[in-house]
Amino acid sequence: MSDKILVIGESREGVLRNVSFEAIAAARKMNDNAEVVALLLSDGELEDQAQEMIYYGADRAVTVKHENLKNYTSEGYGQVVLEVVDEETPDAIIMGHTAIGKDLTPKIASRLELGLVSDATEIETDGEDVIFTRPIYSGKAFEKKVIKEGITFATIRPNNIAALEKDESRSGEIQAKDVDVKDLRTVIKEVIRKQSEGVDMSEASVVIAGGRGVKSAEGFEPLYELANLLGGAVGASRGACDAEYCDYSLQIGQTGKVITPDLYIAVGISGAIQHLAGMSNSKVIVAINKDPEANIFNIADYGIVGDLFEVIPLLTEELKQQIG
Ligand code: FAD
């Protein structure tokens, strides 16, 4: 039984990523009566974020502020997490399966000689066992895993486990902990973001993805307009990236990002198996393609057979009127 669960939160530019709240919900699914302790790391103030974690279901929060935590490094974050785990002795550790989560958690697991279940999309319990479901073979099958020994350690896929309702009446202790983050062998001089500003694709609830059918970089502009309207992000097929219509950071699929938004709109994408590997678990899939035989229609919930250059402006106009 996981009586104390450590949730490692993550923020970007001072704003907590939604997956941090989802990780708290995951902890509650493991054991609703557990003490859920949120850990936050930064070079800046963390008090408000810690309070936010408590509003979303954490019982208390530990914050670690240090100038060497300005940018993520596995060494810097690793030192903090190992020290906090040593002090808190949690029964379980949960983190988002984000770029940082994917890099940090295997290193922590190896240092602590623990098993790690990565990329869990569902959590259930059976008596004392916590059962994690995770996709395998590029999402074509699922496996269920239980950790039988040591600390239960898992990462959760963003957008799969719903965060709890924010409850501002909740309160909890916020402990500012000193950790001397030192002797780092790597120093990040500068971070140059490739992806455009705005909503992060891996956590967006709406993703509008363009394929080779979009035909040019300019052809992507209406997709950005639609995405902005819906508060979503723009993604792409590898076909579109190879054709240099957009950056590879937007690629979705087997060799790109794996996403599970509430709404995925595939625009001029044929639906190759390698593309489906990155988006087939989206909750609602809409496909716009002029070829009625396109494979994407086989997994789409809604299909629009038509020319995207006609359909997208019509859709955008209609939405503008609906949204006001
Ligand atoms: P196409 O297959 O060329 O499809 C374009 C579609 O646009 C067509 O269906 C066409 O009917 C439609 N269209 C054209 N004009 C219009 C119009 N005016 N209006 C409406 N529809 C229109 N691909 C990925 O996406 N992600 C990956 O991670 C990935 N990894 C790969 C890994 C490996 C090892 C390999 C071998 C391939 C990988 N691929 C990946 C590539 C994949 O096989 C496909 O080649 C690619 O997904 C095709 O991109 P596309 O659908 O944009 O292009």
Q: Best substitution site from 215, 223, 270, 308 to test ligand 1's pocket, by max atoms within 8 Å of Cβ?
A: 270
- Phi and psi torsions of 26, nearest 5°: -60, -40
Could you tell me which CATH number the domain at 4-177 has? 3.40.50.620
CA of 271 to the centre of ligand 1 (A): 6
Tens digits of per-residue pLDDT, 174-227? 999 999 999 999 888 888 876 555 678 888 999 999 999 999 999 999 999 999
pLDDT in tens for each of the 324 residues of the chain? 679 999 999 988 889 999 999 999 999 999 999 999 999 999 999 999 999 999 999 999 999 999 999 999 999 999 999 999 999 999 999 999 999 999 999 999 999 999 999 999 999 999 999 999 999 887 788 999 999 999 999 999 998 999 999 999 999 999 999 999 999 998 888 888 765 556 788 889 999 999 999 999 999 999 999 999 999 999 999 999 999 999 999 999 999 999 999 999 999 999 999 999 999 999 999 999 999 999 999 999 999 999 999 999 999 999 999 886
CA of 296 to the centre of ligand 1 (A): 10
- Residue 165 is classified by DSSP as P
Domains 4-177 and 201-323 share a fold: yes
Q: What atom of ligand 1 comes closest to residue 239's alpha carbon? A: 49
CA of 239 to the centre of ligand 1 (A): 5
Q: How far is CA 84 from CA 88, 123, 150, 164, in A?
A: 6, 25, 16, 25
Q: What atom of ligand 1 comes closest to residue 268's alpha carbon? A: 7
Enumerate the domain spans of the chain.
4-177, 201-323
CA of 303 to the centre of ligand 1 (A): 17
Nearest residue by C-alpha to atom 4 in ligand 1: 270
- Contact in structure between 24 and 106 (CB atoms under 8 Å): no
Residue 93, token pair as written in the block:
């550790």
Greatest alpha-carbon pair distance for the chain in Å reads 61
CA of 37 to the centre of ligand 1 (A): 44
CATH class of 201-323: alpha beta
Q: What atom of ligand 1 comes closest to residue 291's alpha carbon? A: 11
Nearest residue by C-alpha to atom 46 in ligand 1: 239
Residue 169, token pair as written in the block:
């009446």
Q: Best substitution site from 214, 244, 267, 274 to test ligand 1's pocket, by max atoms within 8 Å of Cβ?
A: 274
Tens digits of per-residue pLDDT, 223-235? 999 999 999 999 9
Q: What atom of ligand 1 comes closest to residue 240's alpha carbon? A: 52
Neighbours of 86 (CB within 10 A): 9
Q: What atom of ligand 1 comes closest to residue 242's alpha carbon? A: 49
d(CA 253, CA 266): 12
Cβ neighbours of residue 85 closer than 8 Å, sequence gap 6 or more? 6, 93, 108, 112, 151
CA of 232 to the centre of ligand 1 (A): 21
3-state secondary structure of 64: strand
Report how far apart the first and last C-alpha atoms of the chain are (Å, whole number).
50
Distance of CA 222 to the CA centre of its chain: 25
d(CA 28, CA 19): 14
Q: Is the pTM of this model over 0.85?
A: no
Give DSSP secondary structure letters for 254-310.
TTSB----SEEEEES----HHHHHHHTT-SEEEEEES-TT-GGGGT-SEEEES-HHH
Give DSSP secondary structure letters for 196-260.
PSSS-GGG-SEEEEE-GGG-STGGGHHHHHHHHHTT-EEEE-HHHHHTTSS-GGGBBSTTSB---
CA of 134 to the centre of ligand 1 (A): 26
d(CA 35, CA 20): 16
CA of 162 to the centre of ligand 1 (A): 31
Q: What atom of ligand 1 comes closest to residue 309's alpha carbon? A: 18
